[in-house]
Structure 1
Amino acid sequence: MTWFDDGRLHFAVGIEDTFVPQSRPGERAIDEYELTEHYAQYAGDLQLASDVGAELVRWGVPWHRIAAERGRWDWSWVDGVMAQFAELGLRPVIDLLHYGTPLWLEGQFSNPDYPDHVTEYAQRFAERYGDVATDYTPVNEPVIHALFSGEYAYWPPYLSGPTGMVSIATALAEGFVKTQHAIASVLGDRATFVHVDAGIRYSGALDAPEHIDTVTRLRHQGFLVEDLVTGAVGPGHPLLGQLERGGADDTLLDWFRAHPVRPDVMGVNYYPLHSTEVFEAGIHHSGGFADPRPYEDTGTEGLKEVLTTWADRYGAPVMLTETSVTGTVAQRRRWLDASVAALHELQADGVNVVGYTWWPLFDMYEWTWRHTEAPRADHLLTMGLHDLVETPSGSLARRRNPVADTFQRHATEARLTRSAATANSADDVA
């Protein structure tokens, strides 16, 4: 039996791991591990995850650092992290690509050799750490990758428009497929694949008819990479014309259908304050951080909708792989309680929900840090179970806050419920 087959809601935390190491005039490289000092404090950070009762930790690999030079691999820091996972008995869900490629990969995701490079990296990781890490996310939020790097020209390689989106989406999808096959060839049946994408919602189109076509396209695009990797893009797919205009020919689409990969768990990321974008009559926003659309808070109803939609569409157990709110401790605790309750309601309704993830374990820094010269403190996002606190020496301390207590209570209740159910089942058998 795998961890997601026991009928229980499993609790996880995530450590923010956005990496965009490329820079240009007016833009700094961003590495959240460096900003939050996770590189120096990883052992204590994983202990914090254990202390709040997490069973799983979504944790990303800094590909740009372990392969800082083409053909050379430095695993020394990752060795220490994986040893700490093993010592604590925490189960890592490995984020192989949470944005960002090594600096030497010219053109980033649009480089024709990108799929092979990311596959080599993933296979080397699985070969080295397969005794500790058996759960993998090949690409975190590929729809955000494709939008930011391919449609909004916000991140490298700064492509734009629907055709740029197709270019990045198909490259990511090819690397995704090859990565999953490579890991499976190393680990066999021990490998578990947690596909993760953003649960983006769009509203307002009925009141703004000029946006209907855009909203329709964006809604379909939200599933594009997962449709590609699962071999679901064929004749009649609503984005087939866009794919063809973006350079995805029959040979490529046939390849995806011939080499499908499936999620063992379908992960969905949902933030109530940011996951529903609103289109307003007479106003155009390109989207993304550069020109954001307004947001609508649809709370737990939006959460339940996206989880149910993704579960039904791909026929896999579903997991909430990121959620939180930026706000006060009281606001965060209210959302934690409400969102956990929503997942239990879905389970009661027959939806196979297997996991809950609070993201992040400790506060993080907003991506807009990349576009300013302001100090990191100006970009702090209060989202975590632990506060990041600047010390007089300039380093960052982690300070547990009451949100951690609420998380620990839910995680403990879930464990006790399952233990009681297992004991009762054993008594029945006896």
Structure 2
Amino acid sequence: MTGSPWYRDGRMRYGVGIEDTFIPQERIGHRKLDEYELTQHYARWEADLELVAESGAEFLRWGIPWYLVEPAPGRFDWSWTDRVAAKMQELGLRCIVDLMHYGTPLWLENSFLNAGYPERVAAYGRAVAERYRHVWTDFTPLNEPVVNAEWCGLTGSWPPYLVGDDGFVTVMMQLARGMVRTQQEIAAANPAAVFVHVDAGFRYEGETSPVPRAFLDERRFVGLDLITGRVQTSSVLGEWLASHGVTAAELQWFRDNAVKPDVIGVNYYPGFTTARIEDGVMTPVRSDAAGLRDLVELYSARYGGVLAITETSLVGTPEEKIAWLRDSTAELTALRDEGHDIVGYTWFPFFTLVDWLYRYDQKQPDEWFREFGLVDLVRGADQGLERVRNSAFPAFRELAIRDR
């Protein structure tokens, strides 16, 4: 990489993402969740990448299935990722490599609870950066840390199946250590690497119970605040973490090892990013572009620097998707005109995903299809999932090409 990094040229880039949640662990009532398998991306990856290029996208958020690439500790199988990386290079697609999208390898005992997790994930990140140094230079160390800690540590839905605030904090501390160590190891392997840290946007409507809204408004930033060394012992987050066993020395480690995102990615979905919480029950509230503006202003004020919208889309008709494309990009244009340094817009997922709730029953994947994408999945008589462009596809392409 020579000259200024891509995110410093003042342009807005359009990209897409392929849903890449991998939870390979199974137990009674919890089946394997691998979005690439369920959407047949492993079989159709080449055509999928060609569709991404056809869409006009300049970049792609795409994840590596860690559990398959490192099937045993320290033993890597690059046979598939080598071909994918070469195809991306051929198509001229910038890949923002999603290194960790929720799941750990089967051999990592107790998943995120494993004492070796931070060093294991960092070693994996370094191995990827070294092998693909001349192809992939942009990395997300871990996607949506708060969502990860909620599903794995608060609600007990995913391994290691912890529950409550103690569980949330335990998992969050491990995730944050891993994020820091991963960035450090990648930067050592490739000093020109770019780090795009992706955070789920959370918005709350009205008063919340039993947890006060004022606290939830702080807790949503805990992942980024930890890795950037912002959490002070006497702060709201510092005192809350301490109440769940985090020591002053642990917080000092994060301040001593603070890492800086080159780009902060904010995820916003008009269908469920905003929620009302009453008596512990969360009800999604449909929002609009004003909610997107709210999050951009919040992240700009808290962290400064460069922002990108790393996920946005909705389940609806193609006409509704086109309307969201129009409204959301118009809001971002206004925000850029006001001085917010927004460099990317990502339609995520690019095609149909299988709802995560698929993991908990025996219904066919098709019954859990959620049509978020610019491309729909349609199962044929041969059981293959055909990729069918809907009318939002050319609308996205028009925007992406226009702004190049």
Which band: TM-score by shorter chain? over 0.9
Q: Which amino acid aligns with 1:138?
A: P
Distance 1:377 1:51 in 2: 26
Residues matched between the structures, number: 401
Q: Which amino acid aligns with 1:306?
A: L
Spell out the pairing of 1:3-402 with structure 2 (5 A cutoff): 3-188=6-191, 190-205=192-207, 210-211=209-210, 213-280=211-278, 283-285=279-281, 293-402=282-391
Distance 1:8 1:73 in 2: 37
**Partner SS, residue 145 of structure 1:** helix
**Partner SS, residue 294 of structure 1:** strand
**Partner SS, residue 190 of structure 2:** helix
**Partner SS, residue 97 of structure 1:** coil
Equivalent residues of 1:163, 1:242 under 8 A apart: no
Q: Which amino acid aligns with 2:359?
A: R
Give 1:247 shift.
Answer: 2.3
Equivalent residues of 1:63, 1:101 under 8 A apart: yes
Give 1:219 shift.
Answer: 1.9
Give 1:217 shift.
Answer: 2.6
**Partner SS, residue 297 of structure 1:** coil
Q: Which moved more, 1:263-272 or 1:229-238?
A: 229-238
Distance 1:254 1:51 in 2: 48
Superposition CA RMSD, Å: 1.1
**Partner SS, residue 239 of structure 1:** helix
Q: Which residue of 2 aligns with 1:421?
A: none
**Partner SS, residue 386 of structure 2:** strand
Q: What does the per-residue CA deviation read over 1:134-168, in whole Å, with 9 as the maximum and x for residues that have no partner?
A: 00000100010011111111111111111111111
Equivalent residues of 1:193, 1:265 under 8 A apart: yes
Q: Which amino acid aligns with 1:304?
A: R
Distance 1:160-1:217 versus aligned 2 partners, 3 A rule: farther
Distance 2:162 2:62 in 1: 28
Q: What does the per-residue CA deviation read over 1:160-185, in whole Å, with 9 as the maximum and x for residues that have no partner?
A: 11111111111000000000011011
| Higher normalized helix content (fraction of residues) | 1
Q: Which amino acid aligns with 2:381?
A: P
Give 1:250 shift.
Answer: 1.7
**Partner SS, residue 360 of structure 1:** coil
Q: What does the per-residue CA deviation read over 1:97-116, in whole Å, with 9 as the maximum and x for residues that have no partner?
A: 01100011111111111001
Q: Which residue of 1 aligns with 2:396?
A: 407
Give 1:381 shift.
Answer: 0.6
Give 1:315 shift.
Answer: 1.4
Equivalent residues of 1:60, 1:97 under 8 A apart: yes
Distance 1:324 1:355 in 2: 14
Distance 1:96 1:268 in 2: 17
Give 1:125 shift.
Answer: 0.3
Give 1:2 shift.
Answer: 1.5
Equivalent residues of 1:177, 1:259 under 8 A apart: yes
Q: What does the per-residue CA deviation read over 1:258-298, in whole Å, with 9 as the maximum and x for residues that have no partner?
A: 01101111100000110011023xx432xxxxxxx111122
Distance 1:237 1:152 in 2: 25
The two structures have a TM-score, normalised by structure 2, of: 0.97
Give 1:401 shift.
Answer: 1.2
User: Could you list the runs of 5+ residues in structure 2 that have no partner in the other structure?
Assistant: none
Equivalent residues of 1:389, 1:398 under 8 A apart: yes
Distance 1:400 1:298 in 2: 26
Distance 2:229 2:74 in 1: 32
